[in-house]
Every structure is written in C-alpha cells, then in structure tokens.
Structure 1
Amino acid sequence: MNRYLVMVMRLPQFDTGQIGPHREFLDGLRAQSRLELAGGFADKSGGAYVLRAADLEEARVLAFGDPLHLTGSSRVDVYEWKAA
C-alpha cells in the first residue's frame, strides 16, 4: 500500500457541526488500518491526514467520503506522498 496526504481546508461555509462526524470518519479509517496520522492546523484553517491505499483512485474514494467534503464544509485534496 502507498501513502497519500489528504489536505482538508475549511471553506467560508464551514459547518462546525461536521467536526464530530469527521472525527468518527477518521476513527473508522484508523480501525481499518488506513489512517497513519491526522491532525488540525494550529491556525484552525484546516488539517491533514495520511492514508494508506492501493492507488490514488482508492485514496480519493476514501478521502471524498469524509463528511467535511460531502457537506461542502471543506476542500479536500489528495496527493501521493513519497515520505522519506
């Protein structure tokens, strides 16, 4: 499996009610051994997490299931990450 960096940036219409569902989503990924690391940015502009997936398409499918993406609260971008 490869690593993918998921950047989640808040949009002007950010819904704080989606924070709980987002955390539950991450817990689900963690339970599947898909999530390596996650955290928010200190300035509250968003956050990032590292996924394990077979390929970029699978990583996008996983990340785009994030409630923050589904509700339009945040912009979600997925990058293949070659961690050193």
Structure 2
Amino acid sequence: MAHFAAILYMEKPELNQQFRPQHLDYLHTLEQAGKIFAKGPFTDGTGGLVIYIADSFAEAKELAEKDPYVLEGVRRLELHEWKI
C-alpha cells in the first residue's frame, strides 16, 4: 500500500457549501474502508488535502476523481504519490 496526496484547489467557492455534505459523506465512507490516512481544509480557504491509501496511482486517482467536489468542478485535483 502507498500513500497519495490529493491537493484539492478551490475553483468555485460559491458552490463549496452546497457540495460539502456529499464530499464529507464520501470521505467518511472511504475512511471506514481504510482508504484515507488524513484529510482537512487549508486554513487560508484555498482548498484542502486528502491523503489516500491505495495499491496504485490508478486506484488513488479513481478514488480522488469520484469525490463530489471534483466531479462537480468545485475543486481542481492535483495528485502525487507521497513518501512518508
């Protein structure tokens, strides 16, 4: 298993609160499945970070791209493998 940092840059702040419940529900489901190491917003309001646990970059990308924030264009995804 590897760790992948999903940086979620704010793109449409006006939609952030509308899709926040779906985003948090999605992450909660993945946490329960052991697929999230850490998560949280940036204090300056520019986005947030999710550290996924996955077998491959492809799996992490699939998980990150299914986040409602990404699907709805609220946040722009940048994904990197993270070496702890």
- The normalised TM-score by structure 2 is 0.93
Count residues in correspondence.
83
Structure 1's unaligned 5+ residue stretches are: none
| Matched residue type, 2:7 | M
Over 4 Å off, 4+ runs: none
Match of 1:69 in 2: 70
Shift of 1:12: 3.6
Aligned to 1:43: 44
Structure 2 partner of 1:53: 54
TM value normalised by structure 1: 0.93
Does the Cα contact within 8 Å between 1:14 and 1:72 map onto a contact in 2? no
Rounded Cα–Cα distance in structure 1 between residues aligned with 2:35 and 2:8: 17
Deviation, 1:59, is: 0.3
Specify the SS of the correspondent of 2:34: coil
Identity %: 27
Gaps of 5+ in 2: none
